[in-house]
Amino acid sequence: MPEQADSSERCGATVIEAEYKARLTDPAGVREKLQALSVADRVTYSDTYFDDAIEALSRAGRELRLRTISGSAESTRSILTFKDAAVDAATGSKPEYETTVGDRATMEEIVERLGYRPRLSFTKLCENHRFKAAGREMLATIVTVPELDGTFLELETMTETEDDLGAALADLRSVLDDLGISPDQLTTELYTDAVALRRRAE
């Protein structure tokens, strides 16, 4: 994600994450084009999603996530994120509220004492490319999830208002075109749903 859009850089801010997600048919080709834009920061995301006993957050399209980021040139860090319901159904773009966590174990205890329990935990292996396009700070992340087949791309930028969301999404689509990503590769499938489905099938 661009400096402004990276979860490690925008803590405490309330923004809308304008985002497209794609299941890549040519990961090597996309990776080569991204390498021409910026050097990849390879990191591991260790994510835990929380919900209450009746899964009220999930049913409302909301997310409460505790993430630890490791493997970066920076030190290991943890982020608490709340994502509200999507404001754009076609892309799943959502308002986000994020803050840095000093101690993951303590924050997890706080969240559980507030009535939320770990619903799902999994790992994402990510290659983050930060660059500027159309006057916006952007983040393109090539993602693999060890439990899932395929390679994904998340392309996102941040906007502070819904009025700017349409323009932000149009700028993202322009970058997708430059990367050679066709509309048929786009998806709104959630990793949480895919991982849960895979585990139920095992």
> For residue range 18-54, what is the model confidence (pLDDT) as tens digits?
999 999 999 999 999 999 999 999 999 999 999 999 9
Per-residue pLDDT of 169-190, as tens digits, reads 999 999 999 999 999 999 999 9
pLDDT value of residue 73? 62
Q: How much is the pTM?
A: 0.89
Q: Which of 54, 49, 119 is nearest to 80 (CA)?
A: 49
Do residues 168 and 136 touch, judged by C-beta distance below 8 A? Answer: yes
- The reply to whether CATH 3.40.50.300 applies to domain 14-201 is no
In the three-class reduction of DSSP (H, G, I as helix; E, B as strand; rest coil), residue 94 is classed as strand
